[in-house]
Chain A
């Protein structure tokens, strides 16, 4: 992460809802179809990729989100060092996946912004701008969905009860955060 011009500069807090950006966080997109690809990832990271739709898996340091039958996002649970843009996990996967032609590994650390939402009003906020039915999502910790929020593509990950990670493309993040503020102020 070498981009210091963060678009989201403050934490916002409302009754029953807190929002802030978690940064810097390593994010990778991995793609592949072969069985060897899945087992190579499993061996390299010591965690299995979720193969069931709309789910995620977690290890001590990393979380893997299901995005599509051949696409996953891996991100670091905690924050990483700010002054570097080379990551251990990426180097490891490049060696074990890309170099062996098993699949693709792309660093999307600077493309996506991770916003953490906490509180019991999260889904009331989402309801105001998303066509997705969150009823089942709410109850299952680890659920993942890609959907639209205020006409913006987002990835939403149910991290814990009343705690959600939201990934949005950097260029949309400022607008989305402003929209969420506005919407949350009227909940």
Chain B
């Protein structure tokens, strides 16, 4: 259990949120030109690193808005929270 600072509602408990997987995955511009392997790579393959990770989260039991979070997966420390569409912080600095 830990607190997450929702960029819209403020500090709330983690059980109100839902994790939405890795953030900043760009959809290929020409999906029809990709091989099945490349398409599967885009659709299913996600990093699951130990350390600082960029993630999407949804405040599902609150304002129901999506936002991004930089979290250290080894100790659950939240480094930064920012809205969708905002520029992500540089990894070295967080």
B1, B13, B63, B64: residue with the most chain A Cβ atoms closer than 10 Å:
B63
Which residues of B have CB within 8 Å of A133? 11
On whether the beta carbons of B65 and A147 are closer than 8 Å, the reply is: no
Name the contact of A69 in the complex, choosing from B10, B61, B63 (C-beta under 8 A). Answer: B63
User: Quick check: is B62 within 8 A (CB to CB) of the other chain?
Assistant: yes
Contact A69/B16 with A147-B61, A148-B61, A153-B61 known, Cβ cut-off 8 Å: no
A131 proximity list for chain B (CB < 8 A): 1, 12-13, 15-16
Q: What total of chain A residues lie within 8 Å of the partner, measured CB to CB?
A: 14
Residues of B within 8 A of A147 (CB): 12, 16, 61-62
Closest residue of chain B to A70 (Cβ to Cβ) is B65
Q: A73 to chain B: which residues have CB within 8 Å?
A: none
| Number of residues on chain B facing chain A (CB within 8 A) | 14
Interface residues of B in 12-28 (CB under 8 A from A): 12-13, 15-16
A132 to B12, CA, bound (A): 7
Q: How far is the CA of A153 from the CA of B11 in the complex (A)?
A: 17
Task: Give Cα distance in the complex from A133 to B63, angstroms.
Answer: 16
Residues of A within 8 A of B43 (CB): none
A146 touches B63 (CB 8 A): yes
Rounded to whole Å, the gap between the CB of B82 and the closest CB of chain A is 15
Which residue from A54, A68, A132, A148 sits with its C-beta under 8 Å from B64? A68
A59-94: contact bitstring with B at CB < 8 Å (1 yes, 0 no)?
000000001110100000000000000000000000
B42 close to A (CB within 8 Å): no
A2 at the interface (CB under 8 A from B): no
| Chain A minimum-CB-distance residue to B14 | A131
Distance A132 CA – B10 CA, assembled complex (angstroms): 11
Q: How far is the CA of A67 from the CA of B62 in the complex (A)?
A: 8
Chain A, Cβ-Cβ closest to B3? A133
Could you mark each residue 28-59 of chain A with 1 if its beta carbon is under 8 Å from any beta carbon of chain B, else 0? 00000000000000000000000001100000
CB pairs A–B below 8 angstroms (5 shown): A68-B63, A69-B8, A131-B1, A131-B12, A148-B16
